[in-house]
Structure 1
Amino acid sequence: MSIKHEKWMSQYNRSYDSKEEKEKRLKIYKDNLAYIESFNSGGHKYELGVNGFADLTKDEFLTKYTGNFVPQKSLAFSSFIYENVKEVPDSVDWRELGAVTPVKSQGPCGSCWAFSAVAAIEGISFIRSGELTSLSEQHILDCTSAAIGCQGGWMDQAFEFVMNNAGLACDTDYPYQASKEFCNADMTSSLAVTITGFEHVPPSNETAMALAVANQPVAVTIDPGLLQFYRSGVVTGACGTSGAHAVAIIGYGSSEDGTKFWLGKNSWGTFWGENGFFRIERDVDVVGGMCGLALGVSYPIA
């Protein structure tokens, strides 16, 4: 097991400050491997795998790599622009349609809320303009004073910043640092994309959510408790509704065995999941949807 751990450390460029810390991480690594192997022998619809989070406890993982900790606002619905849509395709994948940038990594910073919002903005910008631009999460992280940066935030706050700022920089002009830095307000010449507003999908309504996703990628909150070691397949089973993480939903469909799923884009890098993407069960008979993903769904208007 020590040899496996050493190879894993090399693969993920991991080092420890002391012999004691390395022994502690080795034990956690061994426990996680045992859990993954046990889970994969249980006949589930999805598989787990060893990834860059294998030396973290569940609590450590949630603390470092999630971050939608700000209490959810009371959602007021003045409008839902897709409520009169009568028909949607059986499946949608906005990657195939050109509206999704490559998977990014938030690193050990609870900035998932910014990545979720940016993915949705990138999507609607492409749909309106025909040009796909990779936008800056750091611009939002640094300059959204209503949020608390790496300690959490809310996608509404990101959308409001982009509206009030009259645009968002591209990520080559304002690159990601995985920490909240001083706001560079002098970005006028670099503002690549703007939005005119945002709306929420009625909560716990996966039918309404499908109407929105058929027309553009959306930002959602989700309970990440089942996702630390996700590798492939459709996530099913008992799950919480904490909303402690935020992702983008970029499509939907059905697997070969008929399981309906949502297609999600995460911000944990390509070493996680299906090259950074994941599938999670759709139209479940649970209030809030699987892992609460239908509780906090929002989308920008461009």
Structure 2
Amino acid sequence: MRKTTSITLAVVGVVAFTALFAVSGFNGNDSQLNQVFSPEDQEFLKFITLHGKSYATKEEFQFRQNLFKSNLLKIRMHNAQNGVSYRLGVNKFSDMTPEEYKKRLGYLPHNVDQSKVKYLAPSNGDNTIDWRTKGAVTQVKDQGQCGSCWSFSATGSIEGHNFLTNKQLVSLSEQQLVDCSQAQGNEGCNGGWMDSAFQYAEQTPLETEADYPYEGVDDTCRVDASKETVQVKSYVDVTPNDADQLIAALQLGPVSVAIEADQNIFQSYQGGVINDSSCGTELDHGVLAVGYGTDGGVPYFIVKNSWGPDWGDQGYVKIAATNDNICGILSQPSYPEIVQK
């Protein structure tokens, strides 16, 4: 009984602590607030309020607060450097352990079928392209705590190429891929590969998001043949490790790509062009390249993530479009070809 009472009091204390902040409002010039809370504590309370965080005990509160402060220090140290091309910032992942954060990664590296690799003729086309402005990209989605990034990358490229082939933008079902593509080697929330998703969609057309909605957990496959909407005809593995080849592929439509995203640079990314090697090239996350452009003379790829619009730059990240293979983005690009209706 005493233990239950102490936990309850701890929870009440945390709630009261947060409520006091919420009532006061976050104002760096508020002298009373500055006397009670350190600047880091104020940032943590702002974070709790903004993201609707709640912690069951005082111990968990303190644990999350320490994680937050550690991440905040990394963010400030990076942003204080001269000449950095990208910014880090506090987001919904700022109180997570590395293990918790990595649950959102789920790309399983595979050897590419060399018969699928295609060299694309370089083009002297536009210096910039953004498939979002052309109507070929659906809204930013959120995979939650399921390692289903590969399915979002795959549906994104299928959605884009279906728009270009059949003149209709339809949000497609990631959950169908999570539940039903094990025969192709995918493992649902434990990871998968975009090419394997394309192979599944060659055999079984995808249903819409509305007909087969996302759950964020592994579930029983329940395909309804009467609701099948978009079918893949084939897919292309783009010649790897060549920025011009990925640019050539992007001139044809959105492209599924794999990157390394397990470092703090990605966990806390807020904006700008990632243009250094600190994110690594050990592929663990599937995302969608939707265009390219330049920022201050630095060429970049526009990349759609699946962590919701409250991550990064409204759900997107810019990665340098050079042959340095930043974050591994040039390692395994691929895109589908769609059955025309």
TM range (shorter): over 0.9
Give the Cα–Cα distance (whole angstroms) in 2 for the partners of residues 178 and 198 of structure 1: 26
Give the corresponding residue for 1:160. Answer: 199
Q: Which amino acid aligns with 1:168?
A: L
Task: For residues 181-206 of structure 1, give each alpha carbon's deviation from its aligned partner in whole angstroms, at most 9, with x where no partner exists.
Answer: 11112x11221211101110011111
Is 1:211 the counterpart of 2:248 in the alignment? yes
1:77 touches 1:202 (CA, 8 Å); kept in 2?
A: no
SS at match of 1:15: coil
**Among residues 115, 121, 127, which one is paired with 1:90 in the alignment?**
127
Corresponding position of 1:266: 305
Structure 1 residue 85, shift from structure 2 partner: 5.2
Structure 2, gaps ≥5 residues long:
1-39
2:87 counterpart of 1:51:
no
Aligned pairs (5 A) from 1:19-38: 19-38=58-77
RMSD over aligned CA atoms reads 1.4
Match of 1:2 among 28, 37, 41: 41
Say if 2:210 is the partner of 1:172. yes
1:58/1:228 contact within 8 Å kept? no
Q: Quick one: distance in 2 between partners of 1:151 and 1:20?
A: 30
Do 2:122 and 2:245's aligned partners in 1 also have CA atoms closer than 8 Å?
Answer: no
Moved >4 Å (runs of 4+): none
Measured against aligned partners, the alpha-carbon deviations of 1:63-85 in whole angstroms (never above 9, x if no partner) come to x11111x23224313452x6235
For 2:329 and 2:275, locate their aligned partners in 1 and report how far apart those are by CA, in whole Å.
Answer: 13
CA contact (8 A) 2:150 2:194 kept: yes
Matched pairs, number: 293
Taking structure 1 as the reference length, the TM-score comes to 0.93
Task: For residue 126 of structure 1, give the secondary structure of its aligned residue in structure 2.
Answer: helix
SS at match of 2:229: strand
Tell me the residue number matched to 1:197.
234
Whether 1:42 and 2:81 are equivalent positions in the alignment is yes
The whole-number CA distance in structure 1 between the counterparts of 2:124 and 2:43 is: 51
- Per-residue CA deviations over 1:2-39 (Å, capped at 9, x if unaligned) read 34323322321222232212211110001111111111
Helix, strand or coil for the counterpart of 1:142?
Answer: helix
Q: Helix, strand or coil: the match of 2:115?
A: coil
Residue 292 of structure 2 is matched in structure 1 by 252
Structure 1 distance, partners of 2:126, 2:115, is 25
- Opposite residue 334 of structure 2, the aligned amino acid is S
Letter in 1 for 2:219: E
Q: Which residue of 2 aligns with 1:301?
A: 337
How far did residue 265 of structure 1 move?
0.4
Matched residues in 2 for 1:22 and 1:169: separation?
Answer: 42
TM-score (norm 2): 0.83
Match of residue 7 from structure 2: none
Larger relative contact order, structure 1 or 2 (CA cutoff 8 Å, min sep 6): 1
SS of the residue aligned with 1:221? strand
Say whether the 8 Å CA contact 2:120–2:238 is kept in structure 1: no
SS in 2 for 1:168: coil
Corresponding residue for residue 326 of structure 2: 290
Gaps of at least 5 residues in structure 1 are: none
